[in-house]
Amino acid sequence: MSEETVVTPLPYSDVLPGAVLAEETDLDGTSLVVAADKLPELARHLRDVEGLDLLSNLTAVDYFGYKGRTAEDRFEVVYHLFSTEKGGGPTVLRVRLPENNPVLPTLVDVYRGADLQEREAYDLFGIRFLGHPALRRILLWEGFHGHPMRKDWQEPYYEAESKPFKSRHPDGNYAWAEDRNPWGSNVQYPDGFDPLTWQEPVSQIPLQSHAGNGASGMLKTDRLIVNMGPQHPSTHGVFRMIVELEGETIMALEPEMGYLHRNHEKIGERNTYLMNMPYTDRLDYISSMSNNLAYAIAVEKLLGEEYAPTERAEYIRVIMAELTRIVNHLFSVGTFLNDLGAFFTPLLYAVRERELILDMFEAVSGSRMMCNYLRFGGVARDLPDGWLEQCKDLVFKRLPGKIEELTTYLTGNEILQERCIGVGYLSPQDAINLSCTGPQLRGSGVAYDIRRAEPYSIYDRFEFDIAAFNGCDVYSRFLVRMEEMRQSVRILEQALKQIPEGPIQSPKGQGSYVVRPPVGTVYGRIESPKGELGFYLVSDGSGNPFRYRVRPPSYINLNALGPMSIGNKVADCVIILGGIDIVLGEVDR
């Protein structure tokens, strides 16, 4: 045999020569290194010809001080593209950028869903996206100095690179951080920023301006900008919508967020892998078990086969994840009815059932909401005696009836239908293009569910239907949630019957407190109740993640809030937001 190596041409070199610079193999598949200037063309080709229509995850990584990286390729912007039609794994694009001038063209023209994520990458990393319609800070305010996710940026109360922090008890006594470093001396503003004279630039804010005719019927009305939130009962937390109105009609709507921002991702880099588990509970605090699952799946991908969860653990995980889905949808439907004006009665009906499920969580994990239950390679503790019987009682006998009860009272309700049908229209093409996932996407008739498209855990063993309705409005999203609860009950029925006896932890994972995964990157994702929840992890071989990125479904679903609201009445933007089902712990991170 000759030693001749066959040079396989790089992908897409025939259509776009020079676009793909290299092909790399990583822990979870291959990725393409793309030239920055050819990126929009390549993305357009991938979207239109290859059918990769969903830009799911867009994030940046700062490889400062990473082995084998120099100032020339310090920053990397990573894109995860999926196909809603074909399903399957991601196509990963990487763009490497130099330290002194991290600039690349925007993808907003190709995937409008890139909007919020590009702004986030700009905000936290200082990477500039040329051509982005409004590249402003999003999670932080304009008076923030620096870009906090850069590795060489240190917070005012900086203690150490990784935990445990030894500096808190200098002489045996507890030292309060703010005594050591009082407020005022730690505040830095960007150049030319004066906090006393600074005013929030309200006028530049509405982005998606609608070409209104300036007159509705006979009356000429002025345009009015109204702030909804951050303290508004409809926004489910501290979230602000800047609404431009003409009469009562919404002409433009801009979401403003970041009031609950705590830089979860930076905290995650200071933590060891296992320490992040309780932190993930606090992302989407309604469905903490799902967050645990997504994170565990991502880290297990990183750790490899030895940490694959045992059979029983997989079943426990699925049971917990599906119970969480029911919890989340009950709560979401309840608060949605609150937004509609059915004040608290439906919510209390929903919360009563939720409480029973939370009791099950408490019995297993010791906490109703902040479960911290999953571990790498299994779960923290086995199910207590009699738990399965209790759970079967709940799932087989009680829940189906209660879901039907809610359906009887709500689905056919005339007032609900009047308010919801046709409101918040989002066409299937737009829903995909705006990177929507979860009930938002399926409410637009796109039957894309990660449990089917790229099955994780043991979801390929269960029989269930994807809940999808093609009304494309708020009512469809509501129907999707009701139907998903029924499907979850179906999955639970199968899982509770099939769950085997056995160990709950893989032998390697047992008691391994500090894990040191091999060098590499992974992206693990699940279908969380709100949409695609993904974790993108970069490991440098140490016990702390080098980069810990959360792909938050409700944050990215907010891309569609503006486009959906335009043309509706101002009262409807409340239920459109309720239909997205956001949790601010996850939106702001």
Partner 1 sequence: MSKAGDFVKGAGQIAGAMGVTLKHLTKKPLTVEYPDEPAAVFPRYRGRHMLRRYDAAPGAELGLERCIGCCLCEAACPTGAILVEAAENDPADPHSPGERYAKTYEVNLLRCVFCGDCEEACPTEAVVLTQAFPVPEQDRRSFILVKDQLLEPPESNIVIRPEQ
Contacts to partner 1 by CB under 8 A: 163-165, 168-169, 172, 174, 176, 271, 274-279, 352, 355, 359, 362-367, 370, 372, 380-381, 384-387, 389-390, 513
CB of 386 to partner 1, least distance (A): 3
Q: Kindly state the smallest distance separating residue 303's Cβ from partner 1, in Å.
A: 18
Q: Which is nearer to partner 1, 170 or 541 (CB)?
A: 170
State the nearest-atom distance from the C-beta of 281 to partner 1, in Å: 8
Q: Which of the 8 DSSP states describes residue 11?
A: T
**Nearer residue to partner 1 within complex by CB, 367 or 417:** 367
CB-based contact 420:482 (threshold 8 Å)? no
Nearer to partner 1, 263 or 367 (CB): 367
Closest to 317 measured CA to CA, from 554, 511, 505:
505
d(CA 337, CA 419): 11
Taking the complex as a whole, the smallest distance from the CB of residue 159 to partner 1 amounts, in Å, to: 8
Give min distance, CB of 545 to partner 1, in A. 13
Our CB check for partner 1 shows the closer of 93 and 316 to be 316
H helices of 271-368, where?
A: 276-281, 288-303, 311-340, 345-365
Name the residue nearer to partner 1 (CB basis): 207 or 274. 274
Where is 490: in which H helix or E strand? helix 474-498
Residue 536: CB partners within 8 Å, gap ≥ 6?
57, 59, 78, 80, 298, 521, 522, 523, 547, 549, 551
Does residue 164 have a cis peptide bond before it, meaning omega lies within 30 degrees of 0? yes
Please identify, using beta-carbon distances, which residue of 76 and 284 lies nearer to partner 1.
284
C-beta of 14: minimal distance to partner 1 in Å?
50
Rounded to the nearest whole angstrom, what is the least distance from the CB of residue 478 to partner 1 in the complex? 22
> Nearest CA to 297 among 198, 378, 359, 369?
378
* Residue closer to partner 1, measured from CB, 10 or 363: 363
| Sign of the Cα pseudo-torsion (149, 150, 156, 161, in order) | positive
Q: Which is nearer to partner 1, 279 or 462 (CB)?
A: 279
Query: Alpha-carbon distance 201 to 444, whole Å?
Result: 34
- State which residue, 268 or 471, has the beta carbon closest to partner 1: 268
Cβ 350 to partner 1 shortest distance, Å: 14
Q: What is the DSSP letter of 461?
A: G
Q: Kind and range of the H or E element at 577? A: helix 570-580
Rounded to the nearest whole angstrom, what is the least distance from the CB of residue 284 to partner 1 in the complex? Answer: 16
* Helical packing angle, 474-498 and 311-340, nearest 10°: 150
Please, which residues have CB within 8 angstroms of residue 232's CB and are 6 or more apart in sequence?
Answer: 240
Shortest Å distance, C-beta 222 to partner 1: 44
Instruction: Name the minimum Å distance from CB 278 to partner 1.
Output: 4
Closest to partner 1 by CB, 331 or 459: 331
Classify each residue of 277-304 as buried b or exposed e, where b means 16 or more C-beta atoms within 10 Å of its C-beta: bebbbbbbebbbbbbbbbbbbbbbbbbe
Q: Alpha helix (H) ranges present in 29-81?
A: 39-48
How open is the CA angle 487-488-492, to the nearest 5 degrees? Answer: 120
The Cα-based distances of 214 to 203, 222, 249 in angstroms read 17, 7, 11
**Cα(297)–Cα(374) distance, integer angstroms:** 10
Helix (H) or strand (E) holding 548: strand 547-551
In terms of CB distance, is 164 or 214 closer to partner 1?
164
- CB distance 535 to 552 below 8 Å: no
